[in-house]
Amino acid sequence: MESWQHWFTINKQLNYMSCHLNRIILSIYSRISSALLGIIGIGGIGIDRYWYWWYWYWSVLVLVLVLVLVLVLVLVGIGGIGIGNHK
């Protein structure tokens, strides 16, 4: 019974953390992508292939970096919770 409650609290903590992380990351990503779109808009409304590929390259790069950051933060969070519960 105790271990079940223990896992339940860990799960609740993880869900709470991931919810907040997702919200923060989504807001950052939307800001970056809108900034990129703004730069492309300044570059000219008739978007060249160069601009198009440049945009996709950077958005994919940013997305990959964000995913790596999320993974690292989640792993660190899981490790931190594990260490916290062992004390």
Q: For residues 36-57, give the mean pLDDT.
A: 62
pLDDT at 67 over 60: yes
| Cβ contacts of 62-69, under 8 Å, gap ≥ 24 | 62/29, 62/32, 62/33, 63/29, 66/25, 66/28, 66/29, 69/25
Q: For residues 21-33, give the mean pLDDT.
A: 76
Give the pLDDT of residue 17. 73
Whether this model's pTM surpasses 0.85: no
Cα distance between residue 45 and residue 47, in whole Å: 6
Q: How confident is the model at residue 48 (pLDDT cuts 50, 70, 90)?
A: low
